[in-house]
Amino acid sequence: MSAAINKKRMMEWLDPNEMHEASLKWMSELKFIRDEQLFLNDLVKSYTLQLTDSSVFNESKEIIGAIASSEKELIVLMKKVQAHENQLEIMMDEIDQLKMEKAYTETHWELNSEMARYSVQYRELKLRLFKLVSKVIKKDKGNRLLN
């Protein structure tokens, strides 16, 4: 119960400028992640042959599928953040629209939670991919040394 009360108080404390700054920060993070995903795709392409090896194929397939899902989710999230930013005028227009302002603030907190969840999942996915590629590189080096 106290968490709900604290959330409500926090919602009341946010002013439009703070929400605008948060939206800009989210969009910047999402654009960076999009660029990072291009790098991850190039990394996967560079090691495709090694990642199709039977010893790591299932793990590779799972991680690559998760990357593809993450890319789709990123696009949806970017659209939500952009739409949220476009609706900021509701908060700035000096017209009392309490229901709309409350809905905007609630949407802001939902987006905040969604961004935090996405960031954590994305970092975990990146870590899994890097560990897998590292394992493949080490295995490949070991094979070259034996030959």
Task: Note the pLDDT tens digit of each residue in 30-82.
Answer: 999 999 999 999 999 999 988 888 889 999 999 999 999 999 999 999 999 99
Half-sphere exposure of 45 (CA within 13 A, CB side): 6
SS3 for 5-16 is: HHHHHHHHHCCH
Half-sphere exposure of 84 (CA within 13 A, CB side): 27
The residue among 28, 39, 49 whose CA lies nearest residue 71 is: 39
Per-residue pLDDT, 3 = 52
pLDDT at 7 over 80: no
* Confidence band, pLDDT 50/70/90 cuts, at residue 8: very low
15-29: pLDDT as tens digits? 888 888 999 999 999
